[in-house]
Structure 1
Amino acid sequence: MSALTELYEEIENCQGCELARYRIKVVPGEGDEDAELLFIGEAPGWHEDQQGRPFVGPAGGFLEQLLASIKLTREQVYIANVIKCRPPSNRDPLPSEIQACRKWLDRQIEIIQPRMIITLGRYSLA
């Protein structure tokens, strides 16, 4: 079992904040475990919550166009969010939710060891 797969299982079982009560699916992230580029968004939206995958709604379409413009695909990069569960009504993540999920993103970065991290959105810089 890969380190990311083990981490996904831990994230799936997380009850570290109130968002766990409302989620349909946890959205840990996806992509190449050896990716040189790591894209980090804010939080899953409705589409992501339904599928358990990051950036599959309208923002995902835009990201795929961006990647194609630099001759890359989703499979060649790693895509994650600051928080792993959808906030109700797609509201902005609360500081406490960002803090609760921080350990997951830190571990993803440690495992993947990307050459470059690209942040997308306001809260991805937290």
Structure 2
Amino acid sequence: MYTYDELKQFVDHCTRCPLSQTRNKAVMGKGNLHSPILFIAEGPGRNEDQDGIPFTGKSGALLDRLLSGIHMSRDEIYITNIVKCHPPGNRDPKPQEQERCIPYLKYETLLLRPKIIVCLGRIAAQRIIRPDYRITREHGTFVYRKNVWLTAVYHPSAVLRDDTKLPEIISDFQLIKEKMDDIARRG
């Protein structure tokens, strides 16, 4: 089994799809490798492409506020993306790009062994939970599969574009906290 650092080296030097040709930096997941909670988004944005760190910029600031609202910080979670390179123009990652990158995500998940996976946005939810997942109807609901609780919330960038979604994502984060507390109680 590879270590986190070895996996990061693979990601940093990956050329499995055309996204590698336009990226500045590949963006490996970051955070607490022993966290019971894994957040998965679709792909790095422009800021992340420059920094090589997931969720910097305005979306990252909103994520930090949401975590703070449930008395958590980035030090307590792990966050990653389905694709590790920035899709040009902030477009959605194409299915074939996702396919090329998904082995890295699977390996990250294997290393972390989370108890809860939170999909940030529709693309991640449709890839991880179910292809026909409807984020507007199903956000905040949990599905149990292969010893992991899965849920999805709006992507923070969607909330920044439409602040009427803010109360819903705050409520969803409260549900995530409740699920974490329940898991901790049950041991």
| TM superposition score normalised by structure 1 | 0.97
Q: Looking at CA atoms only, which structure, 1 or 2, has the larger radius of gyration?
A: 2
SS at match of 1:62: helix
Superposition deviation, residue 58 in structure 1:
1.2
Q: Which has the higher helix share?
A: 2
SS at match of 2:68: helix
After superposition, where does 1:44-55 map in structure 2 within 5 Å? 44-55=44-55
Q: CA RMSD in A?
A: 0.9
Structure 2 residues not aligned, in runs of 5+: 128-187
Partner letter of residue 62 of structure 1? Answer: L
Tell me: higher relative CO, structure 1 or 2? Use CA pairs within 8 A at least 6 residues apart: 1
Which aligned pairs between 1:33-48 and structure 2 lie closer than 5 A? 33-48=33-48
Q: 1:105 maps to what in 2? A: 105
Q: CA deviation at 1:123?
A: 1.2
Question: Gaps spanning 5+ residues in structure 1: where?
Answer: none
Task: Quote how far apart the aligned CAs of 1:77 are.
Answer: 0.3
Cα separation, 2, equivalents of 1:121 and 1:57: 17
Structure 1 runs of 4+ aligned residues shifted over 6 Å read none
In the alignment, which residue of structure 2 is the partner of 1:29?
29
| Aligned sequence identity (%) | 39
Query: Partner of 2:117 in structure 1?
Result: 117
Matched position secondary structure for 2:80: strand
What pairs with 1:2-17 in structure 2 (closer than 5 Å)? 3-17=3-17
Aligned residues, how many? 125
Task: Describe how 1:75-94 pairs up with structure 2 within 5 A.
Answer: 75-94=75-94
